[in-house]
Amino acid sequence: MRYLSTRGGEETDLVDAVMRGLATDGGLFVPDELPRFTPNDFRGTTLAEISAELLAPFFEGSGLEGQLGAICRDAFDFPVPLRPLVEANGELSVLELFHGPTAAFKDVGARFLAAVMERALPRFTDQRPLTILVATSGDTGGAVAAAFHQRRGIRVGVLFPKGQVSPRQQHQLTCWGDNIRAFEVEGSFDDCQALVKAAFTDSDLQRRHRLSAANSINVGRLLPQAAYHAAASLWHWRKHGTAASSIVPTGNLGNGMACVWARAMGLPIGDVVFAVNANRTIPDFLSTGQWQPRPSTATLASAMDVGNPSNMERLRNLIPDFAELRGTVEAYPVDDEAIRAQIAKDYARFGQIWCPHTATGFWVYDHLPASRRVGRPWIVCATAHPAKFETIVEPVIGRAVAVPEALADLLQRPTASVPLVPQLPRFAAELDRWK
């Protein structure tokens, strides 16, 4: 399989696309053609087994085909359960994506990406360290840092917006040391993301450093996310014989785009609905047809605070006709007041405690017309453990949230970060000083 830039100026293979992250023309890599499946094409039952079957065509010709099974087993070594909340016909289920080492769904993509890159590095004659740059609005940076910590030949620069992530998220971003550096940027997530993109398109910086990306701009992040959407749809299909629709909390649109890819490949997924926070860029576009990125707004669901979602470029590449696109996906904004109310409501209703991001998904579910909910199966993605947002969740539910063991261990580590103004020359100077 070949990979093309969304901007039409480049073509390459999987390993090169993953190792570079972003095309030289600033575009995002996408497969030249999505493979097609039916539910009966899959024999595996676990996430690792289903992932290996789904992703085989994407690895064809890459030189890593024979290692795909091992990559999937290495990456998906924690549970990703699909749990029913309303049993009848699988009417409402939650896909728990937060059981990895940093208690967020980003662990899935980050661990897969690390497993691929580790195996790909020996294939290159350039022996300089691979410098991965990752902008984060909360969860991505911690997951990438955990996945790549102490891996030989790879170092990671994590950029996060000062004062706009939760205290426990910030601890996860800054507690690593060794081959990980955290940059505390005076600005928003969009400023962090703009710095990363500027670094990739700066020819002088590219000559001095061997750069790659670990945000969802990297196709190596979206492939495993498509795999868990595929697996969830198959688990439901095999049990109930129906195609469940999906509600996907999303910020930079990586999680949502991965679900769209899974459905486009023939997996039994019905409607795809994006839940966003008060950053309305996606729902406003679907309403008006005008793509108008804007500065991000800080919300309780901080990992989704994105005003210029990068993966819209992939979505519009896949479905360039606006009328068709508008009929393919939906998106609904959820404000902070509604997030708090949903956390309280579902704690009383189900005895479940959601993080603010997951709460946006359940708010959207509850506000769909009854005709779309009653008797129709839905899966809502739970994207992070509520213990990462205890200052928001605990006052709402009136009790402490138990901290998972892996997260508790990280919170005992010392932290360090580098202050940074969002200017490329200043960032480049920090990279040049990194020995």
| pLDDT tens per residue across span 17-40 | 998 888 988 899 999 999 999 999
What's the confidence (pLDDT) of residue 151?
Answer: 85
Question: At residue 415, does pLDDT exceed 80?
Answer: yes
Supply 18's token pair. 């993953």
Q: pLDDT-based confidence at 175, cuts 50/70/90?
A: very high
User: How far is the C-alpha of 284 from the C-alpha of 2, rounded, in Å?
Assistant: 33
**Residue 67 above 80 pLDDT?**
yes
Q: Assign 225 a pLDDT band (cuts: 50, 70, 90).
A: very high
The amino acid present at 374, given as its one-letter code, is V
Residue 168's pLDDT is: 84
Q: State mean pLDDT over 113-129.
A: 86
Residue 206 has which token pair?
């590219």
Give the right CATH number for 72-105+220-404 from 3.90.1210.10, 3.40.50.1100, 1.10.10.10, 3.40.50.300.
3.40.50.1100
* 3-class state of residue 305 by DSSP: coil
* Region 97-126 average pLDDT: 90
d(CA 150, CA 209): 19
Q: In which band, very low, low, confident or very high, does the pLDDT at 431 lie, cut at 50, 70 and 90?
A: very high
Predicted pLDDT of residue 212:
85
Q: How high is the mean pLDDT of the chain?
A: 94
Q: What is the signed CA dihedral for 201, 204, 206, 208, rounded to 10 degrees?
A: -160
> Which of 150, 71, 83, 155 is closest to 111 using CA atoms?
71
**pLDDT tens for each residue of 132-158:** 998 887 678 889 999 999 888 899 999
Q: Give the residue-averaged pLDDT of 239-247.
A: 97
**Pair 180, 142: CB distance under 8 Å:** no
Residue linked to tokens 């990559």: 71
Segment 111-123 mean pLDDT = 91
**CA dist., res. 128 & res. 140, Å (int):** 25
Residue pair 180/131 in contact (Cβ under 8 Å)? The answer is: no
pLDDT at 309 over 90: yes
Q: What is the pTM of this model?
A: 0.91
Nearest to 21 by CA among 212, 196, 162, 281: 212
pLDDT-based confidence at 124, cuts 50/70/90?
confident
The tens digit of pLDDT for each residue in 176-190 reads 999 999 999 999 888
Domain range summary for the chain, segments of one domain joined by +: 72-105+220-404
